Chain A
Amino acid sequence: AQSVSQHNHHVILSEAASLELGCNYSYGGTVNLFWYVQYPGQHLQLLLKYFSGDPLVKGIKGFEAEFIKSKFSFNLRKPSVQWSDTAEYFCAVFNYGGSQGNLIFGKGTKLSVKP
């Protein structure tokens, strides 16, 4: 069965610091990978997604992620965080099992950015 691991439970950074959140997945075949963000009191929103092609994926709000197949990783990065990036970040892999498929999420990483 597929699984997703996010190793950082809570990350605290100062504004302008660089961010990297780790995500590892277990499945060895073709994968579709995602990062979702949940701002306090708001919906889960899609930040970026990877299907195929360029392993460096650009998302919204200056985020990017790199798919490294040999490391089973899809780490999220941002060169300079802002206070408004304070949120919880979820890595997910799409499970194509069955007729409709579903998302398998990691536990999430809470990011707190100090002004």
Chain B
Amino acid sequence: EPEVTQTPSHQVTQMGQEVILRCVPISNHLYFYWYRQILGQKVEFLVSFYNNEISEKSEIFDDQFSVERPDGSNFTLKIRSTKLEDSAMYFCASSETRALARLPYNEQFFGPGTRLTVL
């Protein structure tokens, strides 16, 4: 069964360093998402991406964050200068189509997450 994969599973970095989190979505999926979960808190939406462009982003997704689809398979989240408060589990998700107001929602499939620890 196809699945979303993420690497690395755990990343430890020093404050101020750049990190790149990698995701390989399911191969025929066109819509991609990043979510994060700070320990003990909710899973929060960061950004959605389609056709090589950001579709939507939350207020968490500030100028320190960027996303890219550098090739046909990877989808990356870059944090330019990490802060302590960026420590969280980051989940990538993909879906085959987007949800339309009158159609059934198309399921988002999640990866296992990357645990980012900023020291």
Stretch at the interface among A12-20, A72-80, A99-107: A99-107
User: Which B residue sits closest to A49, measured CB to CB?
Assistant: B105
* Contact partner, A46, options B50, B91, B107, Cβ 8 Å: B107
A residues less than 8 Å from B43 (CB atoms): 44, 90, 92, 103, 105, 108
Question: Does A70 count as interface, using CB distance less than 8 angstroms?
Answer: no
- B101 and A96 contact, CB distance less than 8 A: yes
Cross-chain contact of B111 among A36, A41, A43 (Cβ < 8 A): A43
Distance, CA A7 to CA B104, complexed state (A): 28
Q: How far is the CA of A104 from the CA of B107 in the complex (A)?
A: 14
- Nearest B-chain residue to A52, judged by Cβ: B104
- CB-based A-B contact count at 8 angstroms: 70
Contact of B105 among A42, A51, A106 (CB under 8 A): A51
**With A and B bound together, what is the CA distance between A105 and B104 in angstroms?**
19
CB distance from B74 to the nearest CB of A (A): 18
Instruction: Verify if B65 is at the interface (C-beta below 8 Å from A).
Output: no
Q: Is A98 an interface residue (CB 8 A)?
A: yes
Total A residues in contact with B, Cβ cutoff 8 Å:
28
A100 touches B111 (CB 8 A): no
Q: Is the CB of B56 within 8 A of A99?
A: yes
- The residues of A that contact B56 with a CB separation of less than 8 Å are 97-102
Interface residue from B55, B93, B105 paired with A99 (Cβ < 8 Å): B55
**Which of A32, A98, A101 has most chain B Cβ within 10 Å?**
A101
Chain B residues in contact with chain A, CB under 8 A? Answer: 3-4, 31, 33, 35, 40-45, 48, 50, 55-56, 58, 91, 93, 98-99, 101, 104-105, 107-113
Further pairs besides A36-B110, A103-B45: 9, Cβ < 8 Å: A32-B99, A43-B3, A98-B55, A100-B31, A103-B35, A103-B43, A105-B35, A105-B43, A107-B41
Residues of A within 8 A of B (CB): 4, 32, 36, 41-46, 49, 51, 90, 92, 94-108
